[in-house]
């Protein structure tokens, strides 16, 4: 596939403002497509309200929370808290993308629509966790306050192209994390709720992935460099939350999100769909970025293979212990 950039002289001619203007029609087209396929849904319909009881405090009949009150698995609880705290930071995410993409025209319409759809995810997850008593409500609120009070600054806030590249991968990563959490939760109600959220996240990924494809057509070298930087330095937006490293390690072992999943189910699908490693006609900087991206993906695959071996050995040890 050969892509050529417009006659704007050098890559330096592509400022964020020019890119936003050049991509406005694509944003409008993708927004209209999104609005046709996205389905409105009611968060309250996914919550098991009949399982809910009062908590102590103002209510004399309140029941103290106990871990055994929920059917959700231990790994499901850990992942649900991580996923919810990530969704909780929506005000910061909105500020980031509204500052980068603007609040006018198709860009602004998308920013507000995306924020409104994402808002449902935090609402339904918190309601589910409290109604089903899946986690300690006091700790959940303390974690939320700590995480949100620290604020959030994107690693990619310096560049509109880097931000588009990041969210193309991150929305898919979030979809995969929610979907796998549902599968591992041990509760069909939880699984159904997270499947609904994952459907939204997939549509968001498609929007940003298609926008990234359009960016490759108008500014291939700059876009390739942005994708290279984002993939090599990728971090989930929840990295600043309390206890994230430990929770991430447990989620990796629990096969909710790990290196193999990140390589196979998040990075590869987007790169393959856009044929990123096959794009030709690049300038020196774009070609260098493409080569470095290919090398990184090969290295990540090798690291994932080592992780797979360790995980298989761990499972074998646990099975042997259970047999005795």
Q: Is it the case that residue 57 has pLDDT exceeding 80?
A: yes
Residues of the domain holding 146? 16-315
**Number of C-alpha atoms within 13 angstroms, CB side, residue 197?**
34
Within-domain flag for 230: yes
Tens digits of residue pLDDT in 136-147: 999 999 999 988
45 among the known binding-site residues? no
User: Which of the four pLDDT bands, split at 50, 70 and 90, describes residue 299?
Assistant: very high
Within-domain flag for 320: no
Q: What is the mean pLDDT of the chain?
A: 89
118 among the known binding-site residues? yes
262 among the known binding-site residues? no
User: Which of the four pLDDT bands, split at 50, 70 and 90, describes residue 3?
Assistant: very low
Contact 278, 1 (CB under 8 A): yes
Burial class (CB within 10 angstroms; exposed 0-12, middle 13-18, buried 19+) of 135: buried
Torsion, CA 152, CA 157, CA 161, CA 164, rounded to 10:
10
Within-domain flag for 7: no
Number of domains, the chain? 1
pTM: 0.90
Within-domain flag for 9: no
292 among the known binding-site residues? no
- How many whole angstroms separate alpha carbon 319 and alpha carbon 324? 9
Within-domain flag for 2: no
Tokens of 18: 């020019």
162 among the known binding-site residues? no
87 among the known binding-site residues? yes
CATH of the domain at 165: 1.10.620.20
> Mean pLDDT lowest for which of 105-109, 247-251, 261-265, 320-324?
320-324
Mean pLDDT of 3-24: 68
User: Which of the four pLDDT bands, split at 50, 70 and 90, describes residue 154?
Assistant: confident
């Amino acid at each position: 596939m050969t892509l050529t950039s417009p006659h704007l002289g050098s890559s330096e001619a592509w400022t964020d403002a020019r890119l936003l203007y050049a991509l406005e029609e694509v944003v409008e087209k993708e927004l209209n497509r999104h609005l046709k396929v996205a389905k409105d849904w009611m968060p309250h319909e996914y919550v098991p309200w009949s399982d809910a009881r009062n908590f102590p405090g103002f209510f004399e009949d309140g029941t103290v929370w106990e871990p055994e009150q929920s059917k959700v698995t231990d790994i499901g609880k850990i992942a649900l808290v991580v996923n919810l705290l990530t969704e909780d930071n929506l005000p910061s995410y909105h500020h980031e993308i509204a500052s980068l993409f603007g609040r006018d025209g198709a860009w602004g319409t998308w920013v507000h629509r995306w924020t409104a759809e994402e808002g449902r995810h935090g609402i339904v997850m918190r309601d589910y966790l409290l109604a089903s008593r899946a986690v300690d409500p006091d700790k959940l609120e303390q974690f939320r306050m700590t995480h949100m009070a620290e604020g959030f600054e994107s690693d990619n806030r310096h560049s509109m192209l880097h931000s588009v590249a990041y969210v193309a991968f991150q929305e898919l990563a979030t979809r995969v994390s929610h979907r796998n959490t549902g599968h591992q939760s041990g509760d069909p109600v939880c699984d159904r709720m997270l499947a609904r959220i994952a459907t939204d996240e997939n549509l968001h990924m498609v929007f940003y992935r298609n926008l990234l494809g359009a960016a490759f057509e108008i500014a291939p070298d700059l876009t390739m460099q942005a994708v290279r930087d984002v993939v090599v330095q990728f971090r989930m937006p929840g990295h600043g939350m309390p206890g994230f490293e430990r929770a991430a390690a447990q989620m990796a072992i629990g096969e909710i999100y790990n290196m193999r999943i990140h390589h196979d189910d998040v990075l590869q699908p987007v790169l393959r769909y856009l044929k990123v490693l096959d794009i030709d006609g690049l300038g020196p900087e774009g070609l260098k970025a493409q080569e470095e991206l290919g090398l990184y993906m090969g290295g990540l695959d090798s690291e994932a293979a080592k992780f797979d071996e360790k995980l298989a050995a761990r499972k074998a040890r646990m099975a042997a212990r259970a047999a005795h």
